[in-house]
Structure 1
Amino acid sequence: MEFSDTTPMTSDVFFPNSKREEWQRHGALLDPHHWDAESDLTRAATQSWVLRSEGRIILIDTGAGNAKYRPYQQIWSYLDTGYLANLAAAGVRPEDVDIVINTHLHDDHVGWNTRLEGRDWVPTFPNATYLMPQRDFEYWRPENLPNTTFGRGNQNVYEDSVAPVIDAGLVKTWDESHTIDSNLRLELAPGHTPGSSIIHLESAGDRAIFAGDLLHGAIQVHEPHINSCFEEDEDGARASRARMFAHAADHNALVLPAHLPGHGAFEMRRKGSGFEIADWAPFSRT
């Protein structure tokens, strides 16, 4: 699991349809790890998740990557992070990874798909199958960027983080759902992007959902109508979030989003007609 530096934006920028009183209502939950009440700055993290299942090592999302030019996303431009060192500390070498799952193809979820070797972008995980949602595979082609909401925010991403693994013959696309093994299943959850997906884990009675970008902040559990500023389809994002929340609450599944700081994951339960966080995961705060 890797955390980058947290990314601050004011609540009205990150979540433009939210209201100040909604943040204040949940201040005890959010302040200080998710939102600073005094400055109105929100906080987000960038995470990858490493799983070991049926003898294989599986990496969920690959962060923003190093040395990549992101002219319209300066926070991700020309990074120099210790991502691979963090993986090594978890006992994982790049050549050990069997499967890479990109929950969707935004810049901060595919960056370490590749690394710079001389002047060329080459697959970081040369022995892995890269699972990519077919709908995003088509949607984020460079020629289509002017037709998207995120648009130039994803400039250069296909060229430096997707195309090289296609050329290496490592990409497998899927749609609707895809079974990885007896413990893991991919499911389409469109809205944030057309191909946004989640991963269901069920093993020995335990359940978890790797939620990708179905939510960006803890406030969305209690106020699920709130969207981030990065949704391609606002109504679709709310609908996918509602389905995932209902499943997580009804099946006691741990929810592991891509961008929550603090403990980074939580259990949730129903509260009236909505939901609330029942407990945080027992992970150390980073």
Structure 2
Amino acid sequence: MMGDVEVIRVRELQGPFGPAREIVPDCPGEVWSDNKEWMAPEFWEPDSDSFVATVQTWVLRSEGMTVLVDTGVGNGRQRPGAPPFDNLKTDFLSRLDRAGVRPEEVDVVVNTHIHADHVGWNTVDQDGEWVPAFPNADYLLPAADNAHFGPDGPGSGRPERREIERLVFADSIEPVHRSGQAVLWEGTHRIDANLTLESAHGHTPGSAVLRLASGSDRAVFVGDLLHSPVQILEPSCNSCFDEDAGRAAASRRSVLERAADERELVVPAHFGGAGAVEVRRDGSKFAITRWAAFA
């Protein structure tokens, strides 16, 4: 519990997802090696230099509503060039059910941004057609991402990603538009008295963070502003997926500064292990003060 908000973690995938120095290419090698003792094995496999991550959904129960933050990869998706995501078959919906979350009871789905591993369970295959997985939910989509990744948008501009981006929009975003459940927002969007979305551009044009404030507790769900804890230690280091490096680094620093100053728990989309972390300022950088364990 954080104040009056219950926070539940539901994992979809966990494991190595590629070479660490390619995922966060700007990070000096010594940052990895100097922190090997606690980085391995939950965030890094030193022997293979593999980036280790979790794809997961955060479930928030707030003011009588059930809110999902990001929806992972999804089953049966064509994801050419992305083997970890291609034609998955997981029991994610059963895991949600075991956490007490039934699809028809979900009120709000938050997509922090429109990437393949954040929107996949927006929909399910019903007799060969993609339909919303959560029939009674509003799907909150960043307007800038909707335009950027939509059929008429430029996408990331990277040819190797464009086919995936097209497929992601077609199977995970367009169906919630057709059903009338998509809600586009920009700037800030208040979900309820405890939860507020804020734009944090850079990773994508519309990427966002979700802030939780209830009682004396504070948390910020940062999506992909952080892929690895090395980006806390070296906040200028971007991931290879950040579309605007300068804005991504600025957003990362701004969010970490506020988290340190206001004692917000930082909850990234892909951290394994404890899943969430408290940070403090360390000169012009940041340090980890405590891990907050979620089951």
TM range (shorter): over 0.9
Give the C-alpha shift of residue 282 in structure 1: 2.3
- 1:59 maps to 2:68: yes
Q: Aligned residues: percent identity? A: 44
Cα deviations across residues 50-99 of structure 1 (Å, max 9, x unaligned)? 00111110000000011111112221111111111111011010000000
Give the C-alpha shift of residue 229 in structure 1: 0.8
Question: What is the 5 A alignment of 1:58-97?
Answer: 58-97=67-106
Report how many residues are paired. 284
Name which of 186, 201, 209 aligns with 1:198.
209
- 1:2 maps to 2:48: no
CA distance in 2, matches of 1:7, 1:36: 8
Name which of 217, 242, 257 aligns with 2:268.
257
Give the C-alpha shift of residue 28 in structure 1: 2.3
Cα deviations across residues 215-264 of structure 1 (Å, max 9, x unaligned)? 10011110111111101101110000000000100111111110011111
TM-score with structure 1 setting the length: 0.96
Contact persistence 2:123–2:131 (CA under 8 A): yes
Question: What is the 5 A alignment of 1:66-145?
Answer: 66-145=75-154
Name which of 269, 272, 276 aligns with 2:280.
269
Contact persistence 2:109–2:140 (CA under 8 A): yes
Cα deviations across residues 168-190 of structure 1 (Å, max 9, x unaligned)? 00011000111111101000000
Letter in 2 for 1:2: V
CA distance in 2, matches of 1:231, 1:193: 7
Gaps of 5+ in 2: 1-8
The corresponding residue for 2:167 is: 156
Which range moved further: 30-39 or 42-51? 30-39
Q: State the SS of the aligned residue for 1:48.
A: strand
CA distance in 2, matches of 1:29, 1:224: 18
Letter in 2 for 1:237: A
Contact persistence 1:2–1:48 (CA under 8 A): yes
Q: State the SS of the aligned residue for 1:275.
A: strand
Structure whose residues are more often strand by fraction: 2
- 1:48 maps to 2:54: no
CA distance in 1, matches of 2:264, 2:231: 17
Name which of 155, 179, 190 aligns with 1:168.
179
Q: State the SS of the aligned residue for 1:265.
A: strand
Give the C-alpha shift of residue 145 in structure 1: 4.7
Contact persistence 2:260–2:281 (CA under 8 A): yes
Moved over 6 A (4+): none
Question: What is the 5 A alignment of 1:12-27?
Answer: 12-27=21-36
TM-score with structure 2 setting the length: 0.93
CA distance in 2, matches of 1:6, 1:264: 14
Q: C-alpha root-mean-square deviation of aligned residues, in Å?
A: 1.3
Q: State the SS of the aligned residue for 1:144.
A: coil
CA distance in 2, matches of 1:50, 1:168: 23
